[in-house]
């Protein structure tokens, strides 16, 4: 039996991203040495567009790091409305040329980007830590996911769009299906995965034949700028993919109001997705635009009486508190069957007490900062409300000397009566626990489904038929059985939700690229040229 090496697990058509084990000295120290060169570097970036932009100090914004607001990462010059419109002009002009570029050439550029990101992993990880507050382990996973997106989408584009599809039909007639880009796509990405999601959106749209205007999150525009620099280095024409850092009212309004925008790919809050949807629909005399949205979730996990408490707690800690709970897939509500609840909570309290909060650059840190002060204030308001109601179960101790200059929130767990007690998703390290009786299981399922969010869900049970039945009943995009509910792998666990959690199709899935293309069928009456060639050929057999 031949077991493939990690780089070969996806077969000959797609190479797996290169992993780094930070617990191995020969991996850790060389990586840290390379990252050190970028830990104090001051970046000065501005829009990357198809034309020259003059420096504008009045529109330049300083970027500080979430783990220590006294430290700056650099500065970002935001795009103006006029620059965004001019970039759209260039993208519109470049579209037909780019769409006519052979799929193999487009895919080769995207693959080269994946290779370049692996080569520049230390710098990209340093920026993820400094701008986004990411742990070292999260940084490795982030870059690997971005590389996997590049290689997966390049492979899918070649397989799905690389040749004309001959359709079956009657004799004397040919029917062929062509697929091509839709036009200009706006890619509006979040701060919580500033390389992986950002890169995935951009390369999916571009490899499918579209030109792209990329608007990164304001908090993480420097690392996005570096990714687009690498994409241009890989051979992507500057007028095909352009970077427009800036705020929503300025840049976002252009990207959702101009009738030449044929599609928007967005990851972020549900409220923002609905605003974008309404803006696209309100455009007069504009083609109906495509909206691909991956939004938030009220993600739950059900634990029954057969579950192994120790395994449950390991998976709950990872699901709720890794990345400081700032994942779309993070666990928000834990349902514990009464029979096992006390034991699980006891172990959970002990595990939370051992978590270390602090500098994400320290390998011993378990929980880093939240993204900014606005996020911190919102989370603390929710925490204080539940504390006032005497619902606190456990809170991780936080040493002031490690956290006083950053935007940190300690992991915390509360009891609530039902998922219906929550008015909205709390995007941070806050876990809500609900106890339920076995006889109440149907109500629990209905309550979770009734919130109309449908992103991720977990079930812990050693009763396989029970777990399978629950999985089928949940109206969500991703179900995880007896494991954590985060860390979807490209091409293995395609990621995306339904209802208030997104439009689909799933990122990193077989059908994702098809949302970025148009289809054209050409039917030709071949017999009109004189005789039916296929029938006449039968006479020669």
Mean of pLDDT values over 176-198: 98
DSSP letter, residue 68: E
Together in a domain, 33 and 109: yes
pLDDT of residue 212: 99
Q: Before 59, cis peptide (omega within 30)? A: no
Is 142 part of a structural domain of the chain? yes
Strand 517-524 versus strand 174-181 pairing type:
antiparallel
Together in a domain, 389 and 506: no
Provide CB contacts within 8 A for 33, sequence distance 6+.
none
Is 536 part of a structural domain of the chain? no
Together in a domain, 366 and 279: no
Together in a domain, 264 and 332: no
pLDDT of residue 217: 98
**Band of residue 530 on the pLDDT scale cut at 50, 70, 90:** confident
Catalytic residue (choose from 145, 158, 294, 425)? 294
Together in a domain, 182 and 279: yes
Q: Tens digits of per-residue pLDDT, 495-527?
A: 999 999 999 999 999 999 999 999 999 999 988
What percent of the chain has pLDDT above 90? 95
DSSP letter, residue 154: H
pLDDT of residue 128: 99
Q: What is the DSSP string of 71-140?
A: EEEEEEEPPPHHHHHHHHHHHHHHHHHHHTS-HHHHHHHHHHHHHHHHHTHHHHHHHHHHHH---HHHHH
For residue 407, what are its two tokens? Answer: 């935007």
Together in a domain, 326 and 244: no
Phi, psi of 186 (to 5 degrees): -95, 130
Is 531 part of a structural domain of the chain? no
DSSP letter, residue 244: -
Residue 273 pLDDT greater than 70, yes or no? yes
Element (H, E) at 172: none
Catalytic residue (choose from 328, 389, 425, 440)? 328
Q: Tens digits of per-residue pLDDT, 342-386?
A: 999 999 999 999 999 999 999 999 999 999 999 999 999 999 999
- The β-bridge partners of 457 are 300, 479
Residue 234 pLDDT greater than 90, yes or no? yes
What CATH number did the domain enclosing 154 receive? 3.40.605.10
Q: Tens digits of per-residue pLDDT, 205-216?
A: 999 999 999 999
Together in a domain, 462 and 475: yes
Share the mean pLDDT of the chain. 96
pLDDT of residue 402: 76
Q: Contact, 466 vs 309, CB < 8 A?
A: no
pLDDT of residue 540: 58
CB atoms within 10 A of CB 19: 11
Please tell me the distance from the alpha carbon of residue 24 to that of residue 364, in angstroms, as a whole number. 14
Is 57 part of a structural domain of the chain? no
Residue 2 pLDDT greater than 90, yes or no? no
What's the longest Cα–Cα distance across the chain? 90
Element (H, E) at 48: none
**Band of residue 408 on the pLDDT scale cut at 50, 70, 90:** very high
Residue 432 pLDDT greater than 80, yes or no? yes
> For the ranges 39-48, 141-150, 279-288, 476-485, which has the lowest average pLDDT?
279-288
Provide CB contacts within 8 A for 386, sequence distance 6+.
392, 414, 416
Q: Tens digits of per-residue pLDDT, 127-178?
A: 999 999 999 999 999 999 999 999 999 999 999 999 999 999 998 899 999 9
pLDDT of residue 463: 97
Mean of pLDDT values over 235-243: 99
Number of compact structural domains in the chain: 2
Together in a domain, 285 and 327: no
Please tell me the distance from the alpha carbon of residue 477 to that of residue 501, in angstroms, as a whole number. 9
Residue 440 pLDDT greater than 70, yes or no? yes
Full domain range(s) for residue 15: 6-43+71-295+502-520
**Band of residue 539 on the pLDDT scale cut at 50, 70, 90:** low
Pick the last residue of a domain from 432, 452, 481: 481
pLDDT of residue 541: 57
Q: Tens digits of per-residue pLDDT, 64-77?
A: 999 999 999 999 99
Is 275 part of a structural domain of the chain? yes
Active site residue 328: yes
Together in a domain, 355 and 424: yes
Together in a domain, 319 and 428: yes
Is 534 part of a structural domain of the chain? no
Please tell me the distance from the alpha carbon of residue 14 to that of residue 533, in angstroms, as a whole number. 41
What CATH number did the domain enclosing 340 receive? 3.40.309.10
CB atoms within 10 A of CB 411: 23
Phi, psi of 66 (to 5 degrees): -60, -30
Together in a domain, 257 and 367: no
Together in a domain, 217 and 124: yes
Mean of pLDDT values over 422-435: 97
pLDDT of residue 533: 63
Element (H, E) at 355: none
CB atoms within 10 A of CB 362: 14
Is 94 part of a structural domain of the chain? yes
How many residues are listed for the chain in this entry? 541
Is 51 part of a structural domain of the chain? no
The larger pLDDT score, comparing residue 534 to residue 66, is at 66
Mean of pLDDT values over 106-133: 99
């Amino acid at each position: 039996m031949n077991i493939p090496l990690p780089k070969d697990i996806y077969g000959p058509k797609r190479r797996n991203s290169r992993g780094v084990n930070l617990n191995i000295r020969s991996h850790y120290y060389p990586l840290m040495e390379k990252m050190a060169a970028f830990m104090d570097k001051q970046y000065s970036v501005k829009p990357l567009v198809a034309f020259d932009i003059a420096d504008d100090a009045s529109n330049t914004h300083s970027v500080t790091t979430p783990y220590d607001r006294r430290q700056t990462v650099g500065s970002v010059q935001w795009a103006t409305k006029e620059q965004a419109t001019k970039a759209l002009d260039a993208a519109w002009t470049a579209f037909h040329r780019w769409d006519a570029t052979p799929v193999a050439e487009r895919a080769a550029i995207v693959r080269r980007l994946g290779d370049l990101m692996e080569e520049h992993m230390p710098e990209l990880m340093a920026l993820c830590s400094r701008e986004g507050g990411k742990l070292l382990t999260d940084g490795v996973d982030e870059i690997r996911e971005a590389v996997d997106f590049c290689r997966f989408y390049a492979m899918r584009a070649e397989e799905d769009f690389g040749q004309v599809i001959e359709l079956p039909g009657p004799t004397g007639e040919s029917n062929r299906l062509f697929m091509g880009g839709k036009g200009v796509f706006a890619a509006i990405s979040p701060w919580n995965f500033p390389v992986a999601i950002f890169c995935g959106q951009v390369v999916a749209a571009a490899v499918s034949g579209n030109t792209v205007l990329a608007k990164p999150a304001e908090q993480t525009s420097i690392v996005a700028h570096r990714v687009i620099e690498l994409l241009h280095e890989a051979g992507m024409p500057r007028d095909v993919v352009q970077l427009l850092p800036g705020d929503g009212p300025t840049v976002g309004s252009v990207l959702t109001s101009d009738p030449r925008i044929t599609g928007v790919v967005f990851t972020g809050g549900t409220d923002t997705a609905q605003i974008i949807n309404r803006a696209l629909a309100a455009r007069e005399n504009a083609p109906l635009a495509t909206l691909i949205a991956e939004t938030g979730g009220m993600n739950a996990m059900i634990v029954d009486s057969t579950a192994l408490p120790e395994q449950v707690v390991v998976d709950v800690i990872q699901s709720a508190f890794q990345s400081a709970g700032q994942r779309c897939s993070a666990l928000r509500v834990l349902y514990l069957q009464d029979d096992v609840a006390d034991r699980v909570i006891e172990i959970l309290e002990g595990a939370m007490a051992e978590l270390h909060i602090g500098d994400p650059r320290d390998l011993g840190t378990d929980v880093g900062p939240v993204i900014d002060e606005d996020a911190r204030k919102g989370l603390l308001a929710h925490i204080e409300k539940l504390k006032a109601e005497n619902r606190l179960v456990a809170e991780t101790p936080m040493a002031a000397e490690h956290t006083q200059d950053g935007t940190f929130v300690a992991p915390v767990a509360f009891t609530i009566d039902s998922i219906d007690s929550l008015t909205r998703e709390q995007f941070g390290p806050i876990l809500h626990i609900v106890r339920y009786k076995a006889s109440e299981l149907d109500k629990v399922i209905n309550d979770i489904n009734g919130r109309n969010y449908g992103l991720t869900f977990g079930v812990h049970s050693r009763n396989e038929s029970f777990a399978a039945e629950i999985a089928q009943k949940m109206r969500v995009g991703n179900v995880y059985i007896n494991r954590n509910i985060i860390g979807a792998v490209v091409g293995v666990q395609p990621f995306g939700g339904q209802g208030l959690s997104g439009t689909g199709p799933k990122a990193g899935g077989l059908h994702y690229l098809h949302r970025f293309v148009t289809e054209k069928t050409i039917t030709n009456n071949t017999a009109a040229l004189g005789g039916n060639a296929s029938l006449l050929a039968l006479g020669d057999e």
